[in-house]
A and B are shown apart, each in its own frame.
Chain A
Amino acid sequence: MKTLLRRLLWIVILFRSVREKPPEVPEERLVEPVEPRPGAELLVAGLLVATAGAAALAVVAYGLDWSTQAFGGALAGALVLLAAALVVAAKTFIPDEQLDEEYPPEAHPHEEREVARIVRESGQGITRKRLLGGAAGLAGGALGAALLSPAISLGPVFDTSQLNESPWRRGVGLLDDKGRPWRADDIDDGTFYTALPEGADPKLIGSPLILVRIDPAQLHLPAGREGWAPEGIVAYSKICTHAGCAIALYRNPLFDETEPGRALVCPCHYSTFDPAKGGTVLFGPAGRPLPQLPLTIGPDRRLVAAGGYSGPPGPGWWGVRSP
């Protein structure tokens, strides 16, 4: 039985070898040969297994919600190991060939000429090139305008008058950011306060005010602003006239000898305004003074606007008129 099987196997092998073609002449190699590096292969295999391990650890870290550091660190570790495996492979058993080849030709003069000829010859039946060109340009321009015109819906493009609007009018009360009215006695010397308009959107550029109290003897407001600062409380637009950030710094030196005088400062580009002189620019890139708001002390000692700003609030634009 065993010998029978063995013979059958022999017959099969004989048949297959007869059917197979004679071995071909080996083709010329396309890729340069490299020395086998079993050690390096083992190292790369090890790095890939370690990659899998680190990735698995990342999954566990995610699943058990360990921490951002654990999950992300394991993920980064897996990627580092993968990078190491690839680089080791590239440096060892993957062929490192330095091949050379011709650059593509600098130009194809024949084809260039033929393309130009095809275009020219195709247009030879046209006698009124300028007329057709003009009409096509007109059609293209008008169609483009028609297709783009809905973009105007994005905003009130032509109504630039809104840009420097402000809700401040005579009689509008000053509120804090919780909606409580500011009273004259709330305003201390030496710090600043933010005020928002009663009954208006506080987010508008024309809304926020910065309030400081300055000894009336040290106030030198421009002419025509007499009575704008009751008890020395001055109010300016809190939005910098340079780039629209909120004025959030008040320099109020205790010792005049060591520091320059008091100033309202914008933290974005350090435009510096003088609150004692009507918000004039002391330093920095701002080109216009801070608009001042005339104040009055109303019933219950509430602070109330006595009119509108001295100039347009917020950053400038090409139509802004300053007084």
Chain B
Amino acid sequence: MRHDPVKDPVAFIDQRTSTAPLLRKALRYLFPDHWSFLLGEVALYAFVVLVATGVFLALFFEPSLSETVYRGSYEPLRGATMSHAYKSAVDLSFDVRAGLLMRQTHHWAADIFVAAIVVHLMRVFFTGAFRKPRELTYLVGLTMLFVALLEGYLGYSMVDDLLSGMGLAIGYAVALSIPFVGGNLGLLVWGAPYPGDPTFMSRMFIVHVFLLPALLAVLIGIHLALVALRHHTQFRRSDPRASERRLVGVPAFPGQAPRSLGLMAATAAVLFGLGALVQINPIWLWGPYETWLGTNGAQPDWYLGWLIGALRLVPGFDVTIGSATIVPNPFWGGALFPLVVLAVLALWPWIERRVTGDRAAHNLLDRPRDAPFRTGFGLGFLTWVVLVFFAGSSDRIFVFLGVSYTAQVWFWRFAIWVIPLVVAVVTVRWCRALQRVEAVEAQRAAAEL
């Protein structure tokens, strides 16, 4: 018998798994050709880089709060008492070859992972890709965004530098602030009143390096399976073959495979390039954390900026009955605000269905102007969150421009409600105007025929 280097391995697999028909289909699975469909892939490949660099880091990081004296090669910290966690993270940066590259690439990848998810979510939202039959895909994606936020927060909290400590103190206060269960919840998670039981570090470690990554991997699998089962959405286009019932696209093989692999290589290149050349979170400058230490100008990673902004904007009050506190202040900005954002986004497919009465399945995407209500609401909602985010950097604005911090906070306390409303109204009118222009253009084109 003749040897066929392509068919023989396929036959070997097929005759043992009966999967040739599936493979045949998978090779010709169609990907519609549009750049915005690659945003989710960027997130996926950032996750791949996160896992790869994270495994390296986990081989050197010591998740322990027991104290030691630093004797490594970074002169300014020599002789300082610190936890093994912080020491091993500093050692990773100075004394493990390629350690700093891995640490910085991991941190950059986390920032870009969340950014890619957010931009991908915006694409899905503003094109109506979340509509029937893809609501489950959307919900799984939204879940991944919030899991990614928690995962990132735990990642920089484990290092036990000053920035970690300040972030954890805030996290503890937010947990405590939840009405009726907060105190119990805080004790359950931390194991003891703050800074908590020594085992709290082990808890963060197992959740950061195993539970949440495994959860993300499973959710990514479900997300992709859901996409594939219903096939991709597509834009209305000039190709006459494309319709609600017919999909036009590039097959997975050979067309899409080199493009997607090229995107993976490019994503990894950017992340490693940033990790090599652009410093991020220089933990050796922050120093070890103690409960009584704090520093001005401490900034979390960008994806937690909206929570800092919300925590800062809420006016100073606790909800009390007599002398008993019911709702401590951090609840509003730290817990309720993100929950409202999550709830609105999660319920949106059903809210829109109720408002528009459109219950049909959709494979063709809207342009933002095609759905003025959705686009107006979405842009207003996005503006709300982004303004709260900006309000969180009022202290930096004060440092750079000298604008009074108090005045800025008072401005934002009103502006975050007014500006989104204005944006929403203007957007709806703008979309309608664009629609009218198109109608006129279409009439003229018809008349000129």
Q: In the complex, are the beta carbons of A99 and B249 less than 8 A apart?
A: yes
Cβ B296 vs Cβ A62 within 8 A: no
A200 at the binding interface (Cβ < 8 Å): no
B170 near A268 (CB under 8 angstroms)? yes
Q: Please determine whether A196 and B292 come into contact, CB atoms closer than 8 angstroms.
A: yes
On chain A, the number of residues with a Cβ less than 8 Å from chain B's Cβ atoms is: 87
A90-98, A133-141, A183-191, A291-299: which one contacts chain B? A90-98
Which B residues are CB-close (under 8 A) to A239? 169, 291-292
Please measure, in the bound complex, the distance between the C-alpha atom of A65 and the C-alpha atom of B101, giving whole angstroms.
12
Decide if B145 is an interface residue (CB 8 Å cutoff): no
**SS class, residues of chain A in contact with chain B:** loop
Q: Write out the residue numbers on chain A whose beta carbons fall within 8 Å of the beta carbon of B177.
A: 315-317
Which residues of chain B come closer than 8 Å to A159, judged between CB atoms? 187
**B248 part of interface (Cβ distance < 8 Å):** yes
- Residues of B near A271 (CB, < 8 A) are 316
CB closest chain-A residue, reference B99: A68
Binds B, one of A3-11, A72-80, A213-221, A223-231: A72-80
Q: Is the CB of B246 within 8 A of A155?
A: no
B37 to chain A, nearest CB (A): 14
The residue that B276 contacts in the complex, of A73, A154, A247, with Cβ under 8 A, is A73
Alpha-carbon distance A245/B269, docked complex (angstroms): 38
1/0 contact string of A268-289 vs chain B (CB within 8 Å): 1111000000000101111110
Given contacts A89-B258, A269-B312, contact A242 B330 (CB under 8 A): yes
- The complex places the Cα of A233 from the Cα of B231 at a distance, in Å, of 71
Closest A residue to B333 using CB positions? A285
Whether the Cβ atoms of A270 and B188 lie closer than 8 Å is no
The answer to whether A98 and B249 touch (CB under 8 A), given A73-B273, A196-B292, is yes
Contacts of A80 in B (CB 8 A): 265-266, 269, 273
Q: Which A residues, 228 to 249, have Cβ-Cβ distances below 8 Å to chain B?
A: 238-239, 242-249
Closest residue of chain A to B172 (Cβ to Cβ) is A244
Which of A77, A89, A98, A243 is close to B170, meaning CB atoms less than 8 Å apart?
A243
Q: What residues of B have a CB within 8 angstroms of the CB of A320 in the complex?
A: 324-325, 328
A151 at the interface (CB under 8 A from B): yes
Residues of B in contact, count (CB < 8 Å):
103
Q: Inside 8 A of A99's CB, which chain B residues have their CB? A: 28, 30, 248-251
Q: Which residue of chain A is the closest to B410 with respect to CB atoms?
A: A283
Q: Is the pair B183, A160 in contact by a Cβ cutoff of 8 Å?
A: yes
Of residues 130 to 161 in B, which have CB atoms within 8 Å of A's CB atoms? 133
Contact with A along B313-344 (1 / 0, CB 8 A): 11111101001111111100110000000000
Are A72 and B276 in contact, CB atoms less than 8 angstroms apart? yes
A87 close to chain B: CB less than 8 A: yes
Interface flag for A112 (CB, 8 Å):
no
Minimum C-beta distance from A18 to chain B (A): 17
Question: Which of A151, A194, A239, A243 has its CB near the most chain B CB atoms (within 10 A)?
Answer: A243
Given A204-B193, A270-B395, does the pair A317, B169 have CB atoms closer than 8 Å?
no
B170, B173, B203, B296: the one within 8 Å of A248 (CB): B296
> Is B229 part of the binding interface, using a Cβ–Cβ cutoff of 8 Å?
yes
The one of B101, B181, B297 that contacts A267, using a Cβ cutoff of 8 Å: B297
Known: A242-B173, A245-B170. A97 touches B269 (CB 8 A): no
* Closest chain A residue to B228, Cβ basis: A104
What's the Cα separation between A175 and B66 when bound, in Å? 23
B405 interface contact, C-beta 8 A: yes
- Distance A274 CA – B173 CA, assembled complex (angstroms): 22
A residues apposed to B, CB below 8 Å: 31, 62, 65, 68-69, 71-73, 75-77, 79-80, 82-87, 89-90, 94-104, 106, 151-152, 154-160, 162-163, 165, 177, 194, 196, 202-205, 207-208, 238-239, 242-249, 266-271, 281, 283-288, 314-323
Would you mind naming 10 contact pairs between A and B with Cβ atoms under 8 Å apart?
A71-B98, A86-B259, A94-B255, A155-B190, A160-B187, A243-B311, A243-B334, A244-B194, A285-B314, A318-B325
The list of the 7 closest CB pairs from A to B, nearest first, reads A72-B276, A287-B318, A316-B328, A208-B292, A86-B262, A248-B294, A79-B269
